Amino acid sequence: MTASKGTVPHLRVVVAVTAFVLTGFGIVSAYVLGWTEDAVTKGNVIGTWQNFALLAVGFWIGSSSAGKAKEDPQPAPRDARAAATAVADAATSEAASISGEPL
C-alpha cells in the first residue's frame, strides 16, 4: 500500500509510538514530581514538558499553515550568492515589517 499525496505513511504506528513515549514519560514524571526530593531533576522534567508543549504548538501551526502554501513556489536562485542575497533581503524585509520602519 502506498501513501497518497497529503497522508502520513504508517499513521497508526506513529500515533502508537508517540502515545507510548508520552505515557512512559508521564509515569516517570509523576514519580519524579511526586516522590523525589531532587529539585534539579524536577526542574528538568517540567522543562521537558514545556518543550513538548512548544513542539506541539509549533507542529500545529506549521501543519495548519502548510495547507495555505502557494502551489507554485518561487524558483530557486541559480547560485549560492544569489541564494544568500535572497535570504538577506527576505530577513531585512521581515525585520522592517516587525519593527515598523521603512526599508
- pTM for this structure? 0.54
Check whether 86 has a pLDDT greater than 70. yes
Residue at 16 is within a domain: yes
Structural domains in the chain (count): 1
**Which structural domain range is residue 24 located in?**
9-68
Residue at 55 is within a domain: yes
Residue at 15 is within a domain: yes
Residue at 94 is within a domain: no
Residue at 75 is within a domain: no
Residue at 42 is within a domain: yes
Tens digits of per-residue pLDDT, 16-68? 998 999 999 999 999 999 999 999 999 999 999 999 999 988 888 887 776 66
Q: Residue 102: its pLDDT value, please?
A: 56
Identify the three-state secondary structure at position 24: helix
